[in-house]
Amino acid sequence: MPLQRAQRRYLGYVIATALAFFLTSGMRDPTITGSLGEGATTSTTATTTTTAVANAFGFVVGDPVTDPGDDLGAAFAIGIQTGALPDALAPRGSAARWYAEWVWAYGTSDRGDVVAGPRGFIVDGADDRFELTNFETDPAGFVISFDECPLDAELPCASTDLIQLDTNECAPADGCPTLLSPGGILAYHRASILMHPPRHVLIYEIIQGPQPVAAIDEPTHQVRFVPGKPYFMPVYEQEPGQTTFQTLTVRYQDGSSDRIDLAFNAEDATAPTTVP
């Protein structure tokens, strides 16, 4: 039966309304993508949570360590990194103190904060970045020993037990490690550092001299001297043998020069001796 005019108008209204409802459904409900909508997309935001991990000393791994609290290991690491290590932590003549002097003489001067590592505290060492851990202290609060570990956990750590202390203040002679220059410098051998084998680092302390020393060097530049400090440190890439001989050139503050000769005997190649 033919539709009346009013019926046709009503049916057209229903069709238009339904079509408009379908076309705008994506705008009314953002979770619905209208198949006829142009460039319609849906987006969701994912939230991730990072859990902080603390090392055995209670410091968050990856964070800078600027306040050691009452942790002596953290305080020692900060002292190494800042170049201001209290005698109360590492007294003069201790392995911990000689470790610090070695790092300061050979390491970088551009140091940032100590960083908490998974095993301990990351600092700038003598020739790389290392993680210090396994601290042992005495009742007085001195650091007795610790381990220096490469950042690669597959590589072995080295203990400060490999710092050999020498308290022999013998008179200069064959077989004695004390050094005497022609100009009058007297230097005692204080320690040998064997923590980075096969390298040997020797530490000498200048006890007396005719005047302040400005520099100490040798042709291959394998010696460190920090002006203002009484120490110099020759380094050997392997254990020095009986035929090892080295001459260090000393320059005094007035511009004059001196020399220090090092030789090694057969009985103890790690103990230098003046040439008889």
pLDDT tens sequence across 116-142: 999 999 999 999 999 999 999 999 999
The predicted structure's pLDDT at residue 1? 46
Question: What is the share, in percent, of the chain residues with pLDDT greater than 70?
Answer: 78
Query: pLDDT digit string (tens) for 67-93?
Result: 999 999 999 999 999 999 999 999 999
Read off the pLDDT of residues 25-51 as tens digits, 9 standing for 90 and up.
Answer: 444 455 444 444 555 555 555 666 668
3-class SS of residue 159: strand
The pTM score is 0.78
Dihedral pair phi/psi, residue 7, rounded to 5°: -65, -40
Q: Pick the residue with more confidence: 14 or 172?
A: 172
- Write out the E strands in the chain: 64-65, 114-116, 121-124, 129-137, 143-150, 158-159, 163-165, 179-180, 186-193, 200-208, 213-217, 223-225, 231-236, 245-252, 257-264, 272-273
Which residues, other chains included, contact 227 with Cβ-Cβ below 8 Å and sequence gap of 6+? 213, 214, 215
Helices 72-82 & 95-106 angle (0-180, nearest 10): 30
Domain map (residue ranges) of the chain: 64-156, 166-273
Q: What is the mean pLDDT of the chain?
A: 84
Confidence of residue 263 (pLDDT cuts 50, 70, 90): confident
Please tell me the total number of residues recorded for the chain in this structure: 276
* pLDDT on residue 174: 82
Q: Dump pLDDT digits (tens) for 217-240.
A: 999 899 999 999 999 999 999 998
C-alpha separations of 242 from 24, 43, 121, 174, 222 in Å: 94, 76, 39, 13, 18
Q: Which amino acid is at 30?
A: P
The closest of 204, 213, 200, 222 to 252, measured between CA atoms, is 213
* pLDDT of 268 higher than 60: no
How far is it, in rounded angstroms, from Cα 41 to Cα 34? 9
* pLDDT value for 244: 87
Q: What pLDDT shows up at residue 210?
A: 96
pLDDT single digits (tens) 4-19: 444 444 444 444 444 3
Q: Does domain 166-273 have CATH number 3.40.720?
A: no
Lowest-pLDDT range of 23-27, 98-102, 197-201: 23-27
Between 18 and 175, the more confident residue is 175
